[in-house]
Amino acid sequence: MKIKDIGGEFALLERVTKRIKDKNVLTQIGDDAAVIKIGGKLMLFTTDTLVEDDHFSLKWFSPYQVGKKAIEVNVSDIAAMNGIPKYALISLCLRKDTNVEFVEELYKGIYHAAKKYGIEIVGGNMTHGREICIDVMMVGETEKPVLRSGAKIGDLICVTGNLGKGKAGLEIFKKYGEKAKKFEIVKGYLEPKARLKEAKIIGKFANAMIDVSDGLASEIRHICNFSHVGAVVYADKIPVSNATKKAAEILKAKATDFALYGGEDFEIVFTLPKEHLEILKKELRNFSVVGEILKRGDGIFLVENNRKKSLGMGYDHFV
């Protein structure tokens, strides 16, 4: 039986992981980071792996950009928990013929991004294999974690920035190769940025938060599943940039599909009590309301061209 036969990544996690019994662990497996009470502090632990020719291609990425991305995607998980990143360990799997200069440039990118967020690199590991992999384990702190499980019926579903740029950039590279670098859209794919600053503000008001790593559709489904609620998303409210729309036209695709099902945008999706909307607008401009949390029995659906349909699923590594 293949992983795809049981429903993919999250079905596999449910199958192989056990419920955590330690009372100092305040989250079950599946959130953006684990929340653990240690010495009176709430600590956050997360990890993410970048695999060559899956999360990056050295035809398009410089080693420096790969290093930056490795840090940014982990900071995004800490941000989605309303936390502050503090420490990181870096584990590398390198081919035996890897040049020293490659590793030096990779670490320049790692340290550049780490310095931006005040993160100390405190250790790691190295081994060899057939393809290059970069695994980051990151530790952070939070005073008030915001989980996927906190959404309430009537909450507004909101998202920072714009979506679809990660998928649009990837597809442009697939079509044009090196020539793709003349397109504006590829920068968002090559150099994603975590929304730590925005998350600090959002965390004061939101009931639930998650970052967009696998597409808006998947992230909203995760919030709904963890919170035991339903949702409606309005296609015409999903924020996509002109550059993403242009890329979609070139590729004969829908920009909203890139946003819903593409992933690697690393924006923050959050649910917000309606009474906090105007207050948040005074502190943060760069976000959009895209839907609303409903009763669980109402389902999880998309309204597009006045038609109601299933929201669908975003990216899954095994499906």
Q: Output the six-digit token pair for 98.
A: 């890897």
Whole-angstrom distance, CA of residue 80 vs CA of residue 148: 9
Residue 316's pLDDT is: 56
Helix, strand, or coil here: 53? coil
Which residue did the predictor score with more confidence, 184 or 142?
142
Average pLDDT taken over every residue of the chain: 93
Side-chain-facing half-sphere of 255: CA atoms under 13 Å = 20
Where in the chain are all domains bearing CATH 3.30.1330.10? 3-142
The correct answer on CATH 3.90.650.10 for the domain covering 148-310 is yes
Model confidence at 317, in pLDDT bands (50, 70, 90)? low
Within 10 angstroms of residue 87's Cβ, the number of other Cβ atoms is: 16
Which residue did the predictor score with more confidence, 79 or 319?
79
Model confidence at 7, in pLDDT bands (50, 70, 90)? confident
Question: Which amino acid belongs to residue 139?
Answer: V
pTM for the predicted model, two decimal places: 0.94
Model confidence at 11, in pLDDT bands (50, 70, 90)? confident
Mean pLDDT for the stretch of residues 129-145: 97
Mean pLDDT for the stretch of residues 100-115: 98
Q: 177-223 pLDDT, tens per residue? A: 989 988 989 999 999 999 999 999 999 999 999 999 999 999 999 99
Where in the chain are all domains bearing CATH 3.90.650.10? 148-310
| Dihedral sign, Cα of residue 138, residue 260, residue 229, residue 231 | positive
Residue 315 has pLDDT above 80, yes or no: no
Residue 8 has pLDDT above 60, yes or no: yes
Model confidence at 142, in pLDDT bands (50, 70, 90)? very high
Residue 314's pLDDT is: 60
Residue 20's pLDDT is: 82
Q: Output the six-digit token pair for 62.
A: 């410089």
Residue 83 has pLDDT above 60, yes or no: yes
Model confidence at 285, in pLDDT bands (50, 70, 90)? very high
Paired with 94 in beta bridges are: 128
Side-chain-facing half-sphere of 268: CA atoms under 13 Å = 34
Homologous superfamily of domain range 3-142:
PurM-like, N-terminal domain (3.30.1330.10)
Q: 236-253 pLDDT, tens per residue? A: 999 999 999 999 999 999
